[in-house]
A = this chain, B = another copy of it.
């Protein structure tokens, strides 16, 4: 048990070379090492099963091979898709990703960032949606500054405004386009199941949707707010039904919320789409097989994760870059003509 780890020094000694030479061979430094020594070191390292101590390397180089990824809830397919994109790119670059989950508590974001800073992570992707909570935002901004000061890069998915690289999905444009598509189906009265009002993503989608209705000369929708989860959608839908709204079409700002809403509607005997049309946002792959198939705005989630990771790993200049990705309205069986 606990046979101590093989160190570079042991490899060097065994191979009959100096520490410096061994290091140069095993990490591709700029310096040349003769074919013979190089070969010998490589072989010895292999034989001894040498694995460099990442902490020591990080300390000596003052930069680690860690990339942070902060999400609210890895169980939510929205985040797990983004996570898949981020890890794919990071692993391809030979980096390890450390996953932090906030459980939707804004203050956790700053804490996690601080931990990541302690690890001297070279970059971090913040996928949690920004809130409008002033205190949390300012604490977060401070941490982001500290992190970048220290030489790390930060990218956000959704929501810029923090001076970082950002991948911005077309939340507003998507909501607007969706509204237009739905009005073209003949709907005149709409309801929206919005997320918590402090979440910027939710607000943007809602704002876009309202704008789209206005474009079509249709009255603003009834809005019921709920948590950004399946249960939030369920409850919001129940509330909507209780309110005796005359809406014929409801827009849930998230596919996951839409799932909950559909469950609520079914439970109350409301047929989809005959009695009520419903649409979501995100186009979560895991949910594509639901019946009736959910109309939604497709976002390339994995790709967004890849882009964010790319931004943050590509070195990049001093300027904050912003990549916009468009949402694409896809109408399926959950929305019908009215």
Q: Mark A115-150, 1 if CB is under 8 A from B, else 0.
A: 111111000000000000000000000000010111
In the bound complex, how far is the Cα of B52 from the Cα of A227, in angstroms? 36
A53 touches B120 (CB 8 A): yes
Closest to A150 in B: B5
B259 touches A117 (CB 8 A): no
In the bound complex, how far is the Cα of B1 from the Cα of A150, in angstroms? 8
- Residues from chain B with a CB closer than 8 A to the CB of A291 are 266, 290-291
Expressed in whole angstroms, the minimum distance between the Cβ of A47 and any Cβ of chain B is 14
A75 touches B289 (CB 8 A): no
Say if the beta carbon of A21 comes within 8 Å of chain B: no
B290 touches A51 (CB 8 A): no
Q: Which residue in B5, B74, B116, B260 is a CB contact (below 8 Å) of A84? A: B74
Say if the beta carbon of A263 comes within 8 Å of chain B: yes
A230 touches B289 (CB 8 A): yes
Say if the beta carbon of A318 comes within 8 Å of chain B: yes
B286 touches A286 (CB 8 A): yes
- Residues from chain B with a CB closer than 8 A to the CB of A49 are 146
Q: If A80-B75, A87-B101, A97-B99 touch, does A51 touch B117 (CB 8 Å cutoff)?
A: yes
A84 touches B75 (CB 8 A): yes
Number of copies: 2
Looking at A58-66, A192-200, A275-283, A307-315, the stretch in contact with chain B turns out to be: A58-66
Q: Which residue in B3, B58, B99, B302 is a CB contact (below 8 Å) of A98? A: B99
Closest to A1 in B: B149
Closest to A103 in B: B88
In the bound complex, how far is the Cα of B74 from the Cα of A88, in angstroms? 10
Q: Which residue in B56, B81, B91, B120 is a CB contact (below 8 Å) of A59? A: B56
A101 touches B96 (CB 8 A): no
In the bound complex, how far is the Cα of B291 from the Cα of A262, in angstroms? 10
Expressed in whole angstroms, the minimum distance between the Cβ of A150 and any Cβ of chain B is 5
Expressed in whole angstroms, the minimum distance between the Cβ of A62 and any Cβ of chain B is 9
In the bound complex, how far is the Cα of B262 from the Cα of A175, in angstroms? 30
Say if the beta carbon of A216 comes within 8 Å of chain B: no
Expressed in whole angstroms, the minimum distance between the Cβ of A19 and any Cβ of chain B is 16
Can you list 17 A-B contacts with CB-CB less than 8 angstroms, sorted by A residue number? Answer: A1-B149, A3-B149, A3-B150, A5-B120, A52-B118, A53-B118, A54-B119, A55-B56, A55-B59, A55-B120, A66-B98, A75-B81, A75-B84, A77-B80, A77-B286, A87-B99, A88-B103
- Report which A residues bind B (CB closer than 8 A): 1-5, 49, 51-56, 58-59, 64, 66, 69, 73-75, 77, 80-81, 83-84, 87-88, 91, 96-101, 103, 114-120, 146, 148-151, 230, 256, 259-260, 262-263, 266, 285-287, 289-291, 302, 318
Given contacts A55-B56, A59-B59, A74-B87, 4 further A-B contacts (CB under 8 A): A3-B150, A52-B118, A55-B58, A84-B101
